[in-house]
Homo-oligomer: A and B are copies of this chain.
């Protein structure tokens, strides 16, 4: 068997998009915001290209995709590879957008429970628990 050529090319667009996502840290952005960001750059990146890279980066586990408001579109956030994010649950606050990384044995045991009792292998990279964080809960009560 002949070794096939790499199925992926490195392009300036792909690099710039990933770089931009990384530069934002844990802040999330929409596809449209990314397009606008590069609209003022020397070399514009088309929205089709942005969507295609976001899809690929999400599939590769480099970024996360969220569906926050129903009135807006999806938003994306960079994943810090050093944080072992494929091993714990993530909570995303719908109000303020904060991302909470859980480090909790009970939640981890849920992974086993799902597999043992529900015959379901959960994918923690793609799974996000949506809700309201403590700070926003307190703010709502006041």
A94 in contact with B130 (CB, 8 Å): no
Closest CB-CB distance, A93 to chain B, in whole Å? 8
A107 to B109, CA, bound (A): 11
A123 in contact with B127 (CB, 8 Å): no
Is the CB of A120 closer than 8 A to any CB of chain B?
Answer: yes
Known contacts A119-B137, A137-B121; A129/B114 CB under 8 A:
yes
A121 in contact with B132 (CB, 8 Å): yes
A123 in contact with B131 (CB, 8 Å): yes
Copies of chain A in the complex:
2
A65 to B93, CA, bound (A): 17
A113 to B74, CA, bound (A): 28
Report A89-142 residues with CB < 8 Å from chain B CB. 91, 93-94, 100, 102, 104, 106-107, 110, 113-114, 117-123, 126-134, 137
Q: Flag A70-100 by CB within 8 Å of B: 1 or 0 each.
A: 1000100000000000000001011000001
* Size class of the A contact interface (CB-based, 8 Å): 20 to 34
A67 in contact with B120 (CB, 8 Å): no
19 further contact pairs, Cβ within 8 A, besides A67-B126, A106-B110: A67-B70, A91-B118, A93-B120, A100-B120, A102-B118, A104-B117, A106-B113, A107-B110, A110-B110, A119-B133, A119-B137, A120-B129, A120-B134, A121-B137, A122-B130, A123-B130, A126-B130, A126-B131, A127-B131
